[in-house]
């Protein structure tokens, strides 16, 4: 089997989303491809849709179902257990790909000897094959044989995992998998997996369609999701440490941890969670002090994080209450100014 594509599914019956995703896989020009759809304890008609595809295309579809929701990481791990492909891909069940997605990416891998190949993606808000806003998932400077410098770049910016194909032997020989039971599993796995990549390549075409809509599992913010992001950062750091990478790539892993665990969580929590708690902010601050107390001196942090974010984070590290009051006042004033301009 040339390629296995794992599709985690949770409550994607509405609006034809799931069928559009699955049909894009059936239309692949690469014929030696198995589709492993994992129903993550859906409560709508998603499982019935998957069973229909399995009946209609038994040579191509394999469906896994279990009653306990393990989130996307658990669903991907279940798919990995039975995947037979030389190459492994992942596809979110509300997204879709061009008909030549896997043929082009695997062709690039076989041409260059790469372990991982990615491409650009298109942001869309309706089911269409027309190109929307194109986003670069990885940079050209990350491509080529993965020496220490390229590994550092890939740790810093691994890019989305669904917009890639991975050599199956790299996954199996190194025991690679996903954290289960949390959102943002890619934040952990994406970094760790790229440390085992010997050569990375990309195609500068938007071959993947990322569907933006208000019921996607990644498009609303809650305290639970913020805690999951913190957990993903912790697991990423612990995996890198247990696998022997933390010493060699400490500045990059420290930055990646600060970005996932702290900066992104802090500002998404303050901007997106309705009922904010000082106790949560204190826990977040104390976590950074525990794991990387000097993160603000990290050269990547100084370069990559915006000036306002750095100022606010510095205030938060000094005073939890002071940060909270200042942030609320700042955004209140900005809201007034915006209304006055309108």
Binned at pLDDT 50, 70 and 90, residue 342 comes out as: low
**Alpha-carbon span 217 to 242, nearest angstrom:** 30
Please report which helix (H) or strand (E) contains residue 46, including its range.
helix 46-56
- If you average pLDDT over every residue of the chain, what do you get? 94
Predicted TM-score (pTM) of this structure? 0.92
What residue ranges in 43-114 does DSSP mark as E strands? 61-66, 87-90, 96-97
Binned at pLDDT 50, 70 and 90, residue 336 comes out as: confident
Specify whether the CB–CB gap between 202 and 140 falls below 8 A. Answer: yes
Specify whether the CB–CB gap between 114 and 30 falls below 8 A. Answer: no
Token look-up 């393990």 returns 70
Token look-up 């020989």 returns 173
Strand 61-66 and strand 33-40: pairing? parallel
The candidate with the shortest Cα–Cα distance to 190, out of 112, 253, 143, 134, is: 253
Token look-up 């199996």 returns 172
Residue 214's pLDDT is: 60
Each domain of the chain, given as residue ranges in start order, spans: 3-211, 223-341
Which sign, positive or negative, has the C-alpha torsion 139, 30, 187, 154? Answer: negative
Residue 165 has pLDDT above 70, yes or no: yes
Specify whether the CB–CB gap between 260 and 183 falls below 8 A. Answer: no
CATH no. of 3-211: 3.90.550.10
Q: What is the pLDDT of residues 137-157, one digit of tens each?
A: 999 999 999 999 999 999 999
**Alpha-carbon span 261 to 234, nearest angstrom:** 7
Residue 340 has pLDDT above 80, yes or no: no
Specify whether the CB–CB gap between 91 and 27 falls below 8 A. Answer: no
Residue 217's pLDDT is: 44
Specify whether the CB–CB gap between 189 and 73 falls below 8 A. Answer: yes
Specify whether the CB–CB gap between 311 and 322 falls below 8 A. Answer: no
**Alpha-carbon span 209 to 98, nearest angstrom:** 8
For 339, the token pair is 């209304």
Q: What is the pLDDT of residues 86-134, one digit of tens each?
A: 999 999 999 999 999 999 999 999 999 999 999 999 999 989 999 999 9
The candidate with the shortest Cα–Cα distance to 80, out of 34, 43, 48, is: 34
What residue ranges in the chain does DSSP mark as E strands? 3-9, 33-40, 61-66, 87-90, 96-97, 116-124, 133-135, 144-145, 164-167, 199-211
The candidate with the shortest Cα–Cα distance to 17, out of 213, 257, 269, 206, is: 213
């Amino acid at each position: 089997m040339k390629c296995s594509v794992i599709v985690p599914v949770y409550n994607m019956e509405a609006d034809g989303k799931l069928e559009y995703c699955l049909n894009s896989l059936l239309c692949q020009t690469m014929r030696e491809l198995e589709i492993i759809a994992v129903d993550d304890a859906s409560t709508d008609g998603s499982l019935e849709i998957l069973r229909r595809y399995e009946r209609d295309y038994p040579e191509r579809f394999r469906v896994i179902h279990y009653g306990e929701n393990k989130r996307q990481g658990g669903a991907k791990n279940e798919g990995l257990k039975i995947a037979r492909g030389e190459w492994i891909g992942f596809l979110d069940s509300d997204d879709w790909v061009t008909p030549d997605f896997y043929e082009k990416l695997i062709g690039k891998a076989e041409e260059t000897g790469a372990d991982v190949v990615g491409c650009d993606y298109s942001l869309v808000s309706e089911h269409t094959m027309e190109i929307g806003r194109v986003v670069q998932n990885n940079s050209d400077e990350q491509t080529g044989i993965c020496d220490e410098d390229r590994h550092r770049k890939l740790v810093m910016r691994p890019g989305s995992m669904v917009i890639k194909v991975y050599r199956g032997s790299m996954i199996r020989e190194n025991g690679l998998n996903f954290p289960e039971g949390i959102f943002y599993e890619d934040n952990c796995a994406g970094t760790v997996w790229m440390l085992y990549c010997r050569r990375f390549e990309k195609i500068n075409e938007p071959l993947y369609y990322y569907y933006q809509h208000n019921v996607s599992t990644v498009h609303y913010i809650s305290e639970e999701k913020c805690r999951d992001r913190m957990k993903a950062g912790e697991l990423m750091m612990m995996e890198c440490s247990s696998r022997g990478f933390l010493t060699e790539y400490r500045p990059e892993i420290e930055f990646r941890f600060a970005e996932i665990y702290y900066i992104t969580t802090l500002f998404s929590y303050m901007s997106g969670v309705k009922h904010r708690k000082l106790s949560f902010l204190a826990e977040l601050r104390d976590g950074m002090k525990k794991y990387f107390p000097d993160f603000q001196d990290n050269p990547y942090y100084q370069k990559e994080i915006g000036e306002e974010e750095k100022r606010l984070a510095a205030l938060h590290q000094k005073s939890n209450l002071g940060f909270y009051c200042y942030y609320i006042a700042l955004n209140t004033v900005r809201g007034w100014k915006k209304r006055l301009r309108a």
